[in-house]
Amino acid sequence: MAYLDRVFHSLSDGTRRAVIAQLAGGPASVGELARQHRMALPSFMKHIHVLEESEIVVSRKMGRVRMCQLRPGALAAAQGWLEQERRVWETRLNQLDSFVETLAEQDNTHGHE
């Protein structure tokens, strides 16, 4: 699976988005993160693994707890892709607006003939 596939797949689940939102506020242990979700720990750990595979979250064992944090630039690729497509699209819509305005002006001219 390509990198962006994994990133967007990670983002396609409400539990994983909630984990990202929580980690945006600072690192947290798996226990602290899991506490927010009504889910068995093994199921929750699967979400953590998906987030790690997409390189959004990094975790490491510190003593007896596993600490998680967002990887720097974790969401930059996804944001970059969306921003690029939006720009292409907006440029096109602006061109279309100008075209429609030109048509409307021509129509007005004809109307007054």
Residue whose C-alpha is closest to residue 34's, from 51, 12, 11: 51
Q: Is 111 in the site for a second copy (CB under 8 A)?
A: no
Q: Is 31 in the site for a second copy (CB under 8 A)?
A: no
Task: Report the residue from 50, 79, 102, 106 that binds a second copy according to the rule CB under 8 A.
Answer: 79
Q: Is 38 in the site for a second copy (CB under 8 A)?
A: no
67: which 2 tokens? Answer: 């600490």
Q: Is 67 in the site for a second copy (CB under 8 A)?
A: no
Q: Is 81 in the site for a second copy (CB under 8 A)?
A: yes
33: which 2 tokens? Answer: 């993160």
Kindly state the DSSP code that residue 60 receives in the 8-state scheme.
Answer: E
Q: Which CB atom, from 26 or from 63, has the smaller least distance to a second copy?
A: 26
Give the sheet arrangement for strand 65-70, strand by strand.
Answer: 28-29, 65-70, 57-62
Within 1-30, the residues that bind a second copy by CB under 8 A are 2, 4-9, 11-14, 17, 20-21, 24-26
What single letter denotes the amino acid at residue 105? E
Are the CB atoms for 58 and 22 separated by under 8 Å? no
Binding site for a second copy (CB under 8 A): 2, 4-9, 11-14, 17, 20-21, 24-26, 70, 75, 78-79, 81-83, 85-86, 88-89, 92
